Structure 1
Amino acid sequence: MRSLPARRSVTAVVLAAGAVLATAVPAFAHVTVQPNTAQQGGYTAVAFRVPDESATASTVKLEVTVPTDHPIASVSTQPVPGWSATVDKTPLTTPVKTDDGDSVTAAVSKITWTADATGKVGPGQFQEFKISFGPLPKDTDKLVFKALQTYDDGTVVRWIDEAKPGQPEPQHPAPTLTLTPAANAAPAAALNVAPTTTAAAKSDDGTARTLGVVGIVVGVVGAGLGAAGLRRRSGTPSA
């Protein structure tokens, strides 16, 4: 028979393991954006990955808020069978100039996907909602997309908490896209040097061939003159 301290130790271990699992499970059930990085200033395609974490209810709606403090002018959605998508825009108080000189007067503020009877995401399943959008802002290193996930039993999960540096991950973190500076243009400049180098190599090769041909001609001429001299000497009578 186990002693009381031994039973307490076993109970403590079980409770600790349960606590670890309780904190670990939600990490696999977050609504996320994939991939989670993109380059500033360009266009990109991403997917909002939505797992159904309910044991009994199905996901029937996803609302994603697009931040307007760093405006996105254009968004295209990829069709998802059984779902419809709508894109809302908000007028900007101050128009934004693009690199092409165009003036953006309205920015995308919200994308909503709604399921029909055939499109529900059931328990233990997930769905990806893909978009192509841009140009991405150059004045921030991330975009935070606050999202609402609605179940057919009326439950709404709010994925709106922003992670803070040095602090534990929140229970319902908002999908976040990290923006990185555009790649350095130096490699492209280096590529422009290649044709010049190749041309120089071709020029050197052509010169070498020309000199080779001249050398052969000179050799042939010299051989001919030598042969003629021998014939003349052989035809001269001895004294």
Structure 2
Amino acid sequence: MIPIPRTAVVAFGAVVAAVALASPAAADVTVTPSAAPRGGSAELAFQVPEERTGAYTTKVELVAPEATPIAEIYPLSVDGWAPSTTTRTLDQPVELIHGTRTTEVAAAITWSRVGDPPANPGRAVVLTIALGPMPQTDRIAFSLVQTYSDGEVVRWADQPGHRAPVVTLVDEGAVGGHEHDGDNAPAAAPATPEKSDGMYGILGAGLLLGLAAGLGLDGWLILRAVRRAALPAGSE
């Protein structure tokens, strides 16, 4: 058996680590806009990623923050989805948008997919709500429960891994470009990411290392091959 040089093993390990670090991370649920005025109203668009190959989202439950209740939350019309609202009763009343008060507020909005499966199952789901008055706090986080067609349930909460969508609350007039004007449109679903030339270079380098190690080539030859594989065409 041909011995494998130690330099080859070290170089191969470095490339494997680089490939692992370059792998795309799982996307989070995002909310647009990300800021809203305290005491005001807003329209929020939640973009929910599709992360399961061969499955698609069939239900999304958006849970309102309990500690800072919002008097009015209404689902806006989204093609292909049927919303329903669950309410809860508060011990103390909160103010509605038009000045009256209530103890019954929305606890959660649940959207269920209707009709045929999506034509593009990899595209993110975008769901919108109108709400207000926003509470007098610095931030609000919405928990979200996503159900897939294969029965898998993903819970997005205010924690690492599957982070909850968070809206920062600021003083009236300080929202800037994100200030609610009634014409906010849902965020467009991102295009399917494509592999870059740099990723192909890293993968090619890894293959070269594996081949070279198997043949017992010297370390400097391996590193030279890695550098050549990572360079753009015509740059030598």
TM-score (norm 2): 0.66
Higher RCO structure, 1 or 2 (CA under 8 Å, sep 6+): 2
Contact 2:43 2:130 in 1 (8 A): yes
CA contact 1:72–1:108 (8 Å) conserved in 2: yes
- Tell me how far apart the structure 1 counterparts of residues 82 and 97 of structure 2 sit (CA, whole Å): 32
Alignment of 1:85-234 (within 5 A): 85-97=83-95, 101-118=99-116, 120=118, 123-138=121-136, 140-162=137-159, 170-183=160-173
Please report the RMSD computed on the Cα atoms of aligned residues, expressed in angstroms. 2.3
Aligned-pair identity (%): 35
1:50 CA displacement:
1.0
Instruction: State the alpha-carbon separation in 2 of the partners of residues 157 and 15 from structure 1.
Output: 29
State whether residues 43 and 134 of structure 1, in contact with CA within 8 Å, keep that contact through their aligned partners in structure 2.
Answer: yes
Q: For residue 119 of structure 1, report the CA deviation from its aligned partner.
A: 5.3
Match of 2:54? Answer: 56
CA distance change for structure 1 residues 151 and 135 in 2, over 3 Å: closer, same or farther?
same
- Which is greater in Rg? 1
Alpha-carbon displacement from aligned partner over 1:41-79 (angstroms, at most 9, x marks no partner): 100111010121111111111011001321111122221
SS in 2 for 1:125: coil
Q: How does 1:36-51 map to 2 (within 5 A)?
A: 36-51=34-49
CA distance in 2, matches of 1:73, 1:51: 28
**Contact 1:83–1:119 at 8 Å: present in 2 too?**
no
The 8 Å contact of residues 74 and 134 in structure 1, kept in 2 or not, is answered as: yes
SS at match of 2:116: coil
**Does structure 1 conserve the Cα–Cα contact (< 8 Å) formed by 2:71 and 2:95?**
no
Task: Answer yes or no: is 1:72 the counterpart of 2:70.
Answer: yes
Are the counterparts in 1 of residues 96 and 132 from structure 2 also a CA contact under 8 Å? Answer: no
> How far apart, in 2, do the equivalents of 1:35 and 1:88 lie?
24
- Structure 1's 44 and 156: CA in aligned 2 closer, same or farther, altered over 3 A? same
Change (3 A) 1:14 1:47: same
Q: Distance in 2 between matches of 1:144 and 1:131?
A: 14
CA displacement 1:121-142 (0-9 Å, x = unmatched): 854211210111101011x111
> What TM-score does the superposition give when structure 1 sets the normalisation length?
0.66
Determine the structure 2 residue equivalent to 1:220.
Answer: none
Alpha-carbon distance between aligned partners in 1 of 2:3 and 2:123, rounded to the nearest angstrom? 43
The alpha-carbon distance between structure 1 residues 108 and 121, as it changes in their structure 2 partners (threshold 3 A), is farther
Residues 42, 115 of structure 1: alpha-carbon distance in 2 compared, 3 angstrom cutoff? same
Unaligned runs of 5+ in 1: 163-169, 185-239
Equivalent in the alignment of 1:25: 25
Cα 1:60/1:110, change in 2 over 3 Å: same
Q: Identify if the C-alpha distance between structure 1 residues 110 and 119 changes in structure 2 by more than 3 Å, giving closer, same or farther.
A: farther
Q: Secondary structure at the match of 1:25?
A: coil
Change (3 A) 1:105 1:118: same
SS at match of 2:147: strand
CA distance in 2, matches of 1:99, 1:125: 34
Describe the SS at the equivalent of 1:47. strand
